[in-house]
Structure 1
């Protein structure tokens, strides 16, 4: 256990930071629209950099567009510990997904500074670029490039729907922060912890405040292309049709049955469905749809995921079908050392807590093979996220800030 001094975080300040940041990209419905590296997302980075500079924290940028707020340690050569998340959002989404992890960690730095408490190791608050993947695919690419999981140049060459490259947007971010120090990509961390809203209802339903995240479930994503034949909708009899829409819906229904489980553990989603040519009087000749499948068991992830192509071919009818796996991420386990620190902090402050898995992907997953890593969850209203109604209670945000501060103090005192 660390001998370092714990500090009291400022609940009003961390909440106000959230409210101030949510003004950038604010929507009429009270959410935020701040996709990665838009003017709004860059403005959010600039605002946080201003707060950091006012507290004499260093601000740094790397080639991937990741930004770092840094508080020095008493041993400047020691490997830093870190806690952070992202500021980019899904389109017309919520105020807490991402900023919670950034601003609770920033509050920890401010509380340490207020108390004049030194730490042996430097502490950094990274703001990972393009976590959501809403504008540039794939998501998690800022932390992915930082950890070497993804290739820097490939990520920078990604284009959005308007043909704009991430590279040009990262250059724009650097131009907006001319005083930020440029740093090499991928400097090591001694440990990493990330706070996040749960994005589900387990904590809320149980009346608990802190989720001690022990694992992240795995996921497999597939693109399915069903090819039929365009035909006249009025003159083509059923026996002569190769209706890609009918085949695609048959496949989708059959897959839903395969992935159904009584325990409600598997997560199977068809979130994008494209019918071509999309004309009112043409039998569709092509359908493309995308499958997102998640499960905490690596074995089940493989066994059920491998059924996608089998089932698709069985229900294609007169059409042909091709299935390609777009991405795969195996389930992973977080560090017992860090989760124990989180649980100890929650217990010390009387925050009701539980150990749980994360059903969504987060930047923290990329650090598991790099350093001791874990996550902290707090409830969000009705589990709603990626939605303008996304909300969290001020006292829960304050609890997350306090736990993150405690854990950072512990980790920053490691030998």
Structure 2
């Protein structure tokens, strides 16, 4: 396949415009949580689009939606492409959504040119990738890959006590276990980078070589609240201890350098009042790296520092690990196809490791997997200002088209 075959950008823009109206916010974002009315509306129109494109649509017992374009060889394992249509609260228009709508455009383009493939091509929309309403995230892909058992997933509750299963039934997307993804040879997920590197390096394609492992922790610090006039040397201030710990966490990437990332999410202080020291701090943090050994060394550094700071400041600490996912190296074959696609269209590219987790990191357990990144403005994501130019979107979808067709003919 040469450079001449490109997707229909005008049609893709129109598809995005329709998506943007479903759960669209006044500030140009998307608010489309799992199993809400907006999620159902988006699922319904996505199913119709796939049927209109001649795909055989099915839904599995976790609500994952698949559309299959039959290949010439019915016995060959398929190529699967896709991502997710749900969003974070008041989030952007592209995270996940790009990967699903781009996959639809790939199939539409192949149909336009009457191109057949040896392998079948399947589009997928994974349920609850974001995990904002039903925690943890990626329950749809986690269910079909055995990361979580069915009973656990079905009994996960949202903030109102509604279970995953109840939500699935409410929007009428409870399908059959027999419809789960199976006999998949390759999976490719197109996604926005959610980071600054492609834009900073003036590259339009990220050839993703893997996803960093992520370990998440909850830390509770208990001190003694005292009057603001109490001598500093005699205080057991939870906030001061937490602040020193936060700096240790933030300093780990400087120690290890090798693409390690750390972040602090929740940071709650009590009492949070003028002229009084803090008694309690609740905080969360995560540590990410592709190499599990490096990640563990950083975590051990942090744990040791927490104990030392707690002793020095006279506070009590309780550390709880709430999540642990291993890093995932992607398929060399799929990585090579993505690289070849970028070179075929003469798009500037670079190799990159994903810091955020994606459905692809789970699907890599059952199929040879890869990802394609496109730059997002200032690296911003999970917010309404999230933006990707259609010029860059077109390039990303063209590379997805190239890699999908090549893999579907192996």
Tell me if TM exceeds 0.5.
yes
2:359 matched to 1:373? no
Residue 249 (structure 2) aligned to one of 221, 235, 255? 255
Contact preservation (8 Å) 2:248, 2:302: no
Residue 39 (structure 1) aligned to one of 37, 40, 52? 37
Residue 129 (structure 2) aligned to one of 128, 131, 145? 131
> Separation in 1 of the partners of 2:3 and 2:202?
30
2:218 matched to 1:220? no
Contact preservation (8 Å) 2:3, 2:345: no
Deviation at 1:286, TM superposition (A): 2.7
2:185 matched to 1:190? yes
> Separation in 2 of the partners of 1:304 and 1:122?
43
> Separation in 1 of the partners of 2:35 and 2:356?
22
Contact preservation (8 Å) 1:220, 1:329: yes
CA deviation string 1:99-124 (max 9, x = no partner):
11111111111111222222222211
- CA gap 1:359/1:25 in 2 versus in 1, 3 angstroms: same
> Separation in 2 of the partners of 1:58 and 1:294?
39
Indicate the larger mover: 160-169 or 68-77: 68-77
Residue 21 (structure 1) aligned to one of 13, 19, 22? 19
> Separation in 2 of the partners of 1:145 and 1:5?
38
> Separation in 1 of the partners of 2:13 and 2:155?
37
> Separation in 2 of the partners of 1:398 and 1:378?
10
> Separation in 2 of the partners of 1:6 and 1:48?
28
Q: Report the aligned-residue RMSD.
A: 2.6
Instruction: Tell me what 2:299 maps to.
Output: 305
Contact preservation (8 Å) 2:380, 2:387: yes
- Give 1:159-238 correspondences, 5 Å limit: 159-173=157-171, 175=172, 183-229=178-224, 231=225, 233=227
Task: Report SS of the residue matched to 1:249.
Answer: helix
Task: Report SS of the residue matched to 2:382.
Answer: coil
Unaligned runs of 5+ in 1: none
Contact preservation (8 Å) 2:145, 2:365: no
Deviation at 1:307, TM superposition (A): 2.2
2:393 matched to 1:402? no
> Separation in 1 of the partners of 2:11 and 2:279?
57
- CA gap 1:158/1:6 in 2 versus in 1, 3 angstroms: farther
2:83 matched to 1:85? yes
- CA gap 1:185/1:276 in 2 versus in 1, 3 angstroms: farther
Contact preservation (8 Å) 1:24, 1:43: yes
Instruction: Tell me what 1:392 maps to.
Output: 388
- TM-score computed with the length of structure 1 as normaliser: 0.90
Contact preservation (8 Å) 1:255, 1:311: no
- CA gap 1:308/1:234 in 2 versus in 1, 3 angstroms: closer
Unaligned runs of 5+ in 2: none
Contact preservation (8 Å) 2:228, 2:275: yes
Task: Report SS of the residue matched to 2:282.
Answer: strand
- CA gap 1:306/1:262 in 2 versus in 1, 3 angstroms: closer
> Separation in 2 of the partners of 1:212 and 1:368?
16
- TM-score computed with the length of structure 2 as normaliser: 0.91
Deviation at 1:244, TM superposition (A): 2.7
CA deviation string 1:191-239 (max 9, x = no partner):
100001111222222322211111222221111111235x564797767
> Separation in 2 of the partners of 1:234 and 1:341?
63
> Separation in 1 of the partners of 2:102 and 2:281?
44
Residue 325 (structure 1) aligned to one of 312, 321, 328? 321
> Separation in 1 of the partners of 2:177 and 2:228?
63
- Give 1:144-155 correspondences, 5 Å limit: 144-155=142-153
Deviation at 1:143, TM superposition (A): 0.8
